[in-house]
């Protein structure tokens, strides 16, 4: 490696460490439990997992820098376990994946709503009125259809009678 390249990398590392110290200052000044107590439950879980991951990552990096087979070390197992906690938190934050296959059971929803509204006299009265109106409309429609069918049958009979009379009169005139 070139000396200027190494120097620029060291300067960049120094800048990044300064940024890291500045970002971590609020966490380092107060106890972790005090900081976590001010957070909602999900954010508290994120904080604890992130701190654990940071510590385990530093240990993992230290082992690798000292030539130890870090992947065979128990620290690597702990890192894997902490990553699983990240996944669990993601699932809690975004449960969309599980909801794709869900559908509304309309029958069950209807039963739940009916059970919840039972005993509500106003609702029961409105429901009874709606059902009575629907029955009345259905009965009127049935009567209209019956009348129309009777009219069609009568007109078919008349046409048949007219055709019979006209064919009889045509044959007599011959």
pLDDT in tens, the chain (174 residues): 677 888 899 999 999 999 988 988 887 888 888 888 888 999 999 999 999 999 999 999 999 999 988 888 999 999 999 999 999 999 888 876 555 556 788 888 888 887 776 667 777 788 889 999 999 999 999 999 999 999 999 999 888 888 877 766 655 555
- Token representation of residue 27: 């966490």
This model's pTM is above 0.95: no
The residues spanned by each domain of the chain are 1-30, 31-95, 107-162
Q: Kindly state the tokens that stand for 125.
A: 């009265």
Interacting residues of 49 by C-beta distance below 8 A, sequence separation 6+:
82, 85, 86, 89
| C-alpha distance from residue 2 to each of 5, 6, 9, 31 (Å) | 5, 6, 11, 43
Label residues 67-94 b or e (16+ Cβ within 10 Å = b).
Answer: eeebeeeebbebbeebeebeeebeeeee
Taking the C-alpha atoms of residue 145 and residue 153, their distance in angstroms, rounded to an integer, is 12
């Amino acid at each position: 490696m070139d000396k200027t390249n190494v120097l620029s990398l060291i300067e960049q590392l120094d800048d990044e460490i300064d940024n890291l110290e500045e970002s971590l200052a609020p966490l380092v000044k107060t106890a972790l439990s005090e900081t976590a107590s001010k957070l909602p439950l999900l954010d508290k879980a994120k904080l604890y997992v992130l701190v654990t991951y940071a510590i385990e990552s530093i240990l993992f990096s230290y082992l690798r820098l000292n030539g130890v087979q870090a992947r065979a070390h128990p620290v690597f197992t702990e890192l894997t376990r902490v990553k699983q906690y990240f996944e669990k938190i993601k699932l809690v934050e975004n449960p969309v994946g599980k909801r794709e296959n869900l559908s509304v059971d309309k029958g069950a929803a209807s039963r739940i709503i009916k059970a919840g509204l039972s005993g509500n006299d106003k609702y029961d009265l409105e429901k009874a009125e709606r059902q009575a109106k629907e029955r009345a409309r259905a009965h009127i429609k049935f009567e209209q259809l019956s009348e129309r069918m009777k009219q069609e049958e009568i007109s078919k009979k008349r046409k048949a009678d007219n055709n019979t009379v006209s064919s009889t009169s045509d044959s007599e005139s011959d």
